[in-house]
Amino acid sequence: MESDFINTIVWILLILLPEALGQQWSFSFPQSIQALKGSCVEIPCSYTRPRTLRPPKVTWYLEGRKDYYTVFDSHDRGEALDTYRSRTKLVLNTINSCTLHISNVRSDDEGSYIPEVDNRDAYDLNGATVRITVIDAPSTINLQGPAVMMEGIPVAIRCSVEHTCGSDPPTLRWNKRQYLPRTGKQHVSEGRWEALSEITYSPTYEDDETEIQCSATYPNGQTSHKAAPLNIIYAPREVQIVMYEREDGGVDLKCSFSSSRPNVTQFTWLRNDLLIITQTAANIKLENAKENTGEYRCIAHNKAGNSSSDKQVAIQFNGKNSYIIHT
C-alpha cells in the first residue's frame, strides 16, 4: 500500500517537474512607444515566471539620472510618485499581463520605463527598457474609398487612425450623420492599435464636388480631421425642352438640362415616341409643315446614363401659325 502511494507521488513529480523547470523568467514589451500629450498610453507587457501560487507583485519604474522612481506598485499604490499615483494602473487583458496604462500624458512622462514582477525586473534580466516619446499631434487619419463614384451605387468608405491606448481609442465620426457606421479595432503591432469606422455611402448628384470628412476625438478632447472630395458621376438632371419661335413660322427646339457629369455626349429626339434623330447637337429645327405636327420629347445621354425630358411639347403646324402646348 505504501509502495503504491510512493509510486503515485513519483509519477506526479515526474509530470510536474519538467513543466516547473520550463517556467523561466522572461518579459515581453516593445522597445519604444509614442504617447499623445493629454491622452492616454498603454505599454503592452507580459511575463513568465517559475510556477507559484503567490499573486504577482507588479511594479513599474521610471529611469532617472541617478535613480529609479516608482510609477506603479500593484501591492502598495502609495509607493508611486505623486505625479503618477492617480494616473497609472494595470491592464489585465491577458494572463500574466504587466501592461501599464498612463492617463493624461504629460511632457515630463517622456523617458525609459522598466517593469518588475516579484522583485525581478526586465533590466536585470536582459537590459531591456521601453522608451516613451510624448508627441503633441495625433497620427494622420487614413480615409479610403473610390476616387470616382456613380450615383445610386452604394460604396464603402473607411476611416482609420492608429493610436497607442488600446482600452480607450479615439472616437471616429462622419460629417454624413445619416449613415450608421460600423466600428471596430485591430492590433497593428506591439503598442499600436487601429480604430476603424466604415459607412456604406449612397452617392447623389447633390453631393458631387462636396467633401466626405472623418474626425477623430481623443480622450484629451483633441480632434483631428481628414476630408476627401466626392467625385460623383450621374446622368443629366432636369432635362426639358426649350422652344424658340422663328419669324418664318418654324420652331427651334433645344434639349436643355441643369447639370451633367460627365458632359452630355448625345441627344435623341422623338416625335410621338418615334425616333427622329440622335445627334451631338442639342437643337433641332422644325419647319412650318403639317408633317412636323406631334408631341416631342428629348433624351440627353452621357457615360453615366440618360435622362428624358420631364414633359413633352405638343406642336401643331397649319402652314401659317404654330401652337405650343406643354403636356
Domain annotation for the chain: domains and CATH numbers: 2-135 (2.60.40.10), 142-230 (2.60.40.10), 234-326 (2.60.40.10)
Asked which of 14-18, 106-110, 211-215, 311-315 is least confident by mean pLDDT, the reply is: 14-18
- What is the pLDDT, as a whole number, of residue 321? 58
Which run of H or E residues covers position 317?
strand 313-317
CB 132 within 8 A of CB 33: yes
Residue 8 CB neighbour total at 10 angstroms: 10
Which run of H or E residues covers position 228?
strand 223-229
Task: Look up residue 220 and give its three cell numbers.
Answer: 484629451
Higher pLDDT, 309 or 1: 309
Q: Which SS3 state, helix, strand or coil, does residue 91 take? A: strand
Share of the chain above pLDDT 70, in %: 90
pLDDT tens for 40-93 read 999 999 998 888 768 889 999 999 988 899 999 999 989 999 999 999 999 987
Nearest CA-CA partner of 264 in 309, 311, 204, 295: 309
Q: Structure pTM?
A: 0.78
Cell 413633352, located at residue: 312
Asked which of 90-104, 135-149, 295-309 is least confident by mean pLDDT, the reply is: 90-104
CA distance 132 to 121: 18
Nearest CA-CA partner of 322 in 250, 252, 253: 250
Nearest CA-CA partner of 142 in 179, 188, 178: 188
Contacts of 186 (CB under 8 A, 6+ apart): 193, 194, 196
Q: Average model confidence (pLDDT) for the chain?
A: 89
Contacts of 291 (CB under 8 A, 6+ apart): none
Higher pLDDT, 93 or 104: 104
